Amino acid sequence: MTTSQQPQDRYKAVWIIFFMLGLGTLLPWNFFMTATQYFTNRLDQSQNVSSVAAERDGQASAAPTAPSPKRSSLSVIFNNVMTLCAMLPLLLFACLNSFLHQRIPQAVRILGSLLAILLVFLVTAVLVKVPMDALPFFVITMIKIMLINSFGAILQGSLFGLAGLLPASYTAPIMSGQGLAGIFASVAMICAIASGSELAKSAFGYFITACGVVVLTIVCYLGLPRLEFYRYYQQLKLEGCGEQETKLDLISKGKESRAGKEESGVSAPSSQPTNKSHSIRAILKNILVPALSVCFIFTITIGVFPAVTAEVKSSIAGSSAWEKYFIPVSCFLTFNVFDWLGRSLTAVSMWPGKDSRWLPSLVLARLVFVPLLLLCNVRPRRLLPVLFEHDAWFIVFMAAFAFSNGYLASLCMCFGPKKVKPAEAETAGAIMAFFLCLGLALGAVVSFLFRAIV
């Protein structure tokens, strides 16, 4: 199949499908995190209900006093345990996917992960209506978090590997869709605050919406093989493998004609196993710069967002409405909007190039955002002074911080699979997804340090 026969992506159908796949990858988990307040509040309510029941069973006085509501120990540790249960499976299964993706068919990995995530969210939506004690509810929630992130890691790695088979610009819609997922979750949070609806009703809406998005994602993926543009690049991958084997055969035959039949009989079979055993190492060597770059980008990002940025307080006194919306708007919505803009920009501009030294230099330059955000009006604080107290400083820093995260991360994810041969692009994409998850995990660890030195 020659380049003159290369089909066009009609109506940008493949691009739109990859955008929807990216959206479906992160929107369920973003809605899950948005409902964190629902989980902690339910743990508190379950604890208080259990306390009331215990007191009634064992009461001896005729006029008992109503127990005051108190936070349970489970709700206090919920966020920390959630982070641990999310990041460890994410990193583990992203690593496993990098090495085992060739042994499990692509459709099984992607469709299986989507169906598993759909099932988890259906169960989560049903449990909103089911009363349950605090401890069983906590354990079941953590199991669901582990399942969502385990299958999410397989799904994300498989999608980036799939996009690696196509031109570099087709990784950008996955990144853009993931960025838009954060915007949806932030808008949903703001709308829930504005409506004053109960936490349970808001959470139920999040989970049902997530189920609908996952179903739509499944439909989009099932329609992908029907598109000629996608089939062309799938076939190109197979032909790429065939061409490499043909070239190896021609070389071995050339050696056979020069050295004789006895020598060729030894050399031919020994070359292929060596190539397989060193393929992962060779691919990693070729994509090391973008892989380490995307890892560093997300380490810095998760290190301060939201562990530090969500603790910033508004400097505008006497405005109770703005104080209520300050963090949802200036932290979460601002970050997700500008992160999405940065990811989307790579669809029209991919500067600097994949081999340019500017790319790792700009990645390292993002370190400047750490002191800038730590010196904003974060409360409570013990060690560092406040140099940027006004709300405008924080919003400007957050916008630049988020835009650079989205743009540079998307560039790295686009360039990684393009630094290897077409037949190795899927493996390179899976390895890039692993380093992305590694950055998320390292950022979660570093966030404790950054918050402690404020």
The CA distance from 440 to 297, in Å, is: 9
344-384 confidence digits (pLDDT tens): 898 888 888 888 899 999 999 999 999 999 999 988 888 89
**Percentage of the chain lying above the pLDDT 70 cut:** 83
Give the model's pLDDT for residue 164: 83
Judged on CB neighbours under 10 Å (0-12, 13-18, 19+), 50 is middle
Give the model's pLDDT for residue 221: 94
- Residues in contact with 352: Cβ distance below 8 Å, sequence separation at least 6, in sequence order: 358, 359, 362, 411
pLDDT band at 47 (very low <50, low <70, confident <90, very high): low
**Is the pLDDT reported for residue 125 higher than 90?**
yes
CB 284 within 8 A of CB 431: yes
- Taking the alpha carbons at both ends of the chain, their separation in whole angstroms is 60
Among 145, 26, 24, 21, smallest CA distance to 79 is for 145
The CA distance from 153 to 91, in Å, is: 7
- Residues in contact with 62: Cβ distance below 8 Å, sequence separation at least 6, in sequence order: none
Query: Which H or E run includes 251?
Result: helix 228-259
> What number of other Cβ atoms are within 10 A of residue 147's Cβ?
17
pLDDT band at 211 (very low <50, low <70, confident <90, very high): very high
Q: What is the mean pLDDT of residues 415-423?
A: 85
Average pLDDT across the chain, whole number? 82
Give the model's pLDDT for residue 247: 41
Cα 119 from chain centroid? 19
> What number of other Cβ atoms are within 10 A of residue 60's Cβ?
5
**Is the pLDDT reported for residue 287 higher than 70?**
yes
CB 62 within 8 A of CB 199: no
* Phi, psi angles (nearest 5°) of residue 388: -125, 80
**Percentage of the chain lying above the pLDDT 90 cut:** 35
Inter-residue long-range contacts of 358-363, CB under 8 Å, 24+ positions, other chains counted: 359/289, 359/290, 359/293, 359/408, 359/411, 359/412, 359/415, 360/289, 360/292, 360/293, 362/404, 362/408, 363/293, 363/296, 363/297, 363/408, 363/412
What single DSSP character describes residue 8?
Answer: P
Exposure of 158 in the CB half-sphere (CA atoms within 13 A): 25
- Residues in contact with 389: Cβ distance below 8 Å, sequence separation at least 6, in sequence order: 315, 376, 377
What is the widest separation between alpha-carbon atoms in the chain?
A: 105
Helix%, strand%, coil% for the chain, nearest 5: 80, 0, 20
